Amino acid sequence: MIPFLVLLLVCLAVAIFLTQSKETSGNWIQFFAKGKEAGFSIKDLEQIRKLVATCNIKDPVGIFKSQKQFETIIRSMVNTVRMSGERNDPSIQIFLSKLFDYFKKIEMEVAESKSRISNSRQISEGQVLRVLVAGTGVYKSEVVKNFGNYVTISRPVGTKNAASMQWNGLKISVYFWREDDAGYVFDSEVIDEVFSKGISSLKIEHTDALFRTQKRKSLRVKFKKPVFVYLVNDNDNPHRLEKSAGLRGILDDISDTGCSFKVNGQATVGLRLKVQFSLDRVPVCMPATVRSVEYNQETNTSLVRMEADPLPIGTRNHILCEVFDLLPEEDEDELPFRVLEDEADAATSGMPMQGEGAKSD
C-alpha cells in the first residue's frame, strides 16, 4: 500500500511540474509573438526577456499593455546604463530608444483616452480660442463662462475692424488647443452680444460636433530650470555645445520633440534657436525652430514654443528619462557651460540621430 502511495505522489508531482513548465513555455511563446506584433526584433525581445526575468515580472506577456510593468523594465535598463557608465554606447542607446518609443505609445494612448472631449460643453473656462470669420479674418478670444444652453466667450480682438464689428448672427469657426490633448475645431453661430463678468462678450451656440485635429506628437512635462539661449548657425553643427553663456531664460516645459521657455524681450516665429541646460549633471543642447510666441508687453517677456530638430538618440533618451521621471533629483540646479572640448565632442560624436539605426528586424 505504501509503495503505491509513494508512486501516486511522484506521478502527481511530475504532472504538476509538466503543467507548470508548459504554462511557462506557453507564456514565453506568447511573449515573443506579442513582442513581434509590437514591432520588436527577436534580438530586442531577448534583451527584454532578460529584463523581465531580472525584474521578476510574473506575466511577461502583460508588459506590452501595462504601463507599470513596462516602466519597471525601462527603469531597470536606465539604472543599469547609469551604473555601468556605458551611456555613450550607440547599441545600448538604440535599444533604449526602442523601449522609449513603445512606452511613449502606451502612455499617449492612455492619456488620450482620458483627456479628449466630445462636445463644446466640456470646454474649460479660460480656454484660449481662435475665432475665424469667413472673408474677414481670425480673432483671439477666450471662454468666459460655459454652462446652460450656450458658451460665453470674450469679444474677439484682432487687427481687422474687431471693435466695430457687429457679431450678432454671424457664423463663426472656432479653433482651440487643449494642453496635453489636441487641437479642436467647431462651427457655431453668435446668439447675442452681452456683458459677462464685466467683460464685453458673445454668446455662441453649443455643438456636439467637435473635430479633433493636430494630435500631439509627444508627452510634455512642466520643467522649471535655468537655460541659455543661442542663435543657431546652420553652417556649423547646431548640436555643438556652446562654451560661453548665452541669453538667460527659464524652461517652462520639455519633451523629446521640443520645449518652451520664458525669456526677456520678443522672439519671432520661424527663428532658429537652440537652448542649452543641464539634466542630471549632463549638458543638453536642443536646436529648434520657434513655432509660436506669447508676448507680454507689460513685462516685456515672451513664452517661446519651439519644435526641436531630430536629436542625437542619446540626447533624446536622456530627455525622455526626465519626461518619464526616471532620473534622480539633482543637487545642483545648473551645470557650468564652459565645458572642455572633449566633453562637447563626446556628447554628440558617434551617436546616431533620432530615427537612424533603430529599425526592427
The pLDDT value given to residue 116: 75
Q: Quote the CA–CA distance of 355 and 357 in Å, as a whole number.
A: 7
Tell me the three cell numbers of residue 318.
536622456
CA 21 from centre of chain: 41
The pLDDT value given to residue 17: 37
Q: Quote the CA–CA distance of 197 and 237 in Å, as a whole number.
A: 53
The pLDDT value given to residue 154: 92
- Domains of the chain in start order, with CATH, are 2-115 (no CATH), 120-209 (2.30.110.10), 221-348 (2.40.10.220)
The pLDDT value given to residue 224: 87
The pLDDT value given to residue 115: 66
Check if the beta carbon of residue 24 is closer than 8 Å to that of residue 58.
no
The pLDDT value given to residue 41: 92
Q: Quote the CA–CA distance of 77 and 233 in Å, as a whole number.
A: 36
The pLDDT value given to residue 336: 42
**Model-level pTM?**
0.65
The pLDDT value given to residue 105: 86
Which contiguous run of DSSP H or E holds residue 342?
Answer: helix 341-348
The pLDDT value given to residue 316: 93
Beta strands in 137-255 (DSSP E): 137-147, 150-154, 171-177, 183-196, 199-205, 211-213, 221-231, 247-255
Q: Is 207 exposed, middle or buried (0-12, 13-18, 19+ CB in 10 A)?
A: middle
Q: Quote the CA–CA distance of 274 and 242 in Å, as a whole number.
A: 10
Question: In the chain, which residues have pLDDT < 70?
Answer: 1-26, 111-115, 159-163, 180, 214-218, 328-361
